[in-house]
Structure 1
Amino acid sequence: MDRAELAWMLGDQTVACEPARAALLGGGDFVVWDGSVPSQQLASIYATRLRRARKRGTETLALPSTVEILTRFEAAQVKIGCIFSPDRTWAFMLFFADDAGAVLACTGVRRAGR
């Protein structure tokens, strides 16, 4: 997957898609990992991360809606990717349909110590 193709896939799935697209088109690094993970497993992991972020006061974008989207995809396999802002202050996690043909959700987390 190339940068332009990924930018095109980032629509309005969540409010984090626009800043993720800006980071990508601004030269941020990105990766889409091989393999896939059950959406329910990711929903559980990211629900825990949401609770932890709220407790710590970590700035996030669209984390609650991403958890909701992943929860609704029962038994579906999901690919994972990440975009880093050019200054690396933000990491945007991407969740794709198993064939990586569509972005299902995107969340952003401000990186600690940056």
Structure 2
Amino acid sequence: MATEGEPPSRPGIAAMLINQTSARKPAREAIAAGAEVRAADGEVPHWMAARIAAARWRRPLAGGLREITGRDETVGVLARHRGGQLRTGITGAADRLWSFTLYFGATGTGLLACSGVKRSRSPSTKDSSEP
């Protein structure tokens, strides 16, 4: 578990993924399978985390990503922290089909929410119908 002001560790983040959103289980499974977790060192204002989240959810729909999990719960959590500071992190599945965004409180010691986007196919897999 992270101490105040220190980015949380991979095992600490996995332990924090308990009940936040519907994305928690696949994110925890990705971490257990060895996925890299990158947590930001510093805090960002709520509005910046919300803007990043909105962009990450818009792009999937336009760029071939078909499924988003944990979005509604994350929107609610971010709304409750309006005006505050947050930390963010990212992780993804080894096959790169899922990418997860993690939202921590300002101290980094508690995970507030998690959302994930799923690609329609692996970015490294080329469709056989493509030239």
Q: Which residue of structure 2 lines up, in the alignment, with residue 18 of structure 1?
A: 25
Q: CA deviation at 1:112?
A: 5.9
Name the TM-score, length of structure 2 as normaliser. Answer: 0.75
Residue correspondence of structure 1 range 8-47 to structure 2 within 5 A: 8-47=15-54
Q: Which residue of structure 1 lines up, in the alignment, with residue 87 of structure 2?
A: 79
Preserved contact between residue 23 and residue 114 of structure 2 (Cα < 8 Å)? yes
Preserved contact between residue 11 and residue 17 of structure 1 (Cα < 8 Å)? yes
Q: Which residue of structure 1 lines up, in the alignment, with residue 118 of structure 2?
A: 110
Structure with bigger helix share is 1
| Secondary structure in structure 2 of the residue aligned to 1:59 | strand
| Secondary structure in structure 2 of the residue aligned to 1:4 | helix
Q: CA deviation at 1:29?
A: 1.2
Measured in 1, the distance between the counterparts of 2:92 and 2:106 equals 22
Task: State the AA in 2 paired with 1:75.
Answer: G
Measured in 1, the distance between the counterparts of 2:35 and 2:61 equals 26
| Secondary structure in structure 2 of the residue aligned to 1:58 | strand
Rg larger in 1 or in 2? 2
Preserved contact between residue 40 and residue 71 of structure 1 (Cα < 8 Å)? no
Please list every run of 5 or more consecutive structure 2 residues that lacks an aligned counterpart in the other structure: 1-7, 123-131
Please list every run of 5 or more consecutive structure 1 residues that lacks an aligned counterpart in the other structure: none
Q: Which residue of structure 1 lines up, in the alignment, with residue 96 of structure 2?
A: 88
Q: CA deviation at 1:21?
A: 0.4
Name the TM-score, length of structure 1 as normaliser. Answer: 0.85
Q: CA deviation at 1:53?
A: 4.5
Measured in 2, the distance between the counterparts of 1:65 and 1:55 equals 22
Spell out, residue by residue over 1:78-106, the C-alpha distance to the aligned partner (whole angstroms, 9 max, x if none): 00101111111111100001111000100
- Percent identity of paired positions between Structure 1 and Structure 2: 36
Query: Is structure 2 residue 12 aligned with structure 1 residue 5?
Result: yes
Q: CA deviation at 1:55?
A: 6.4
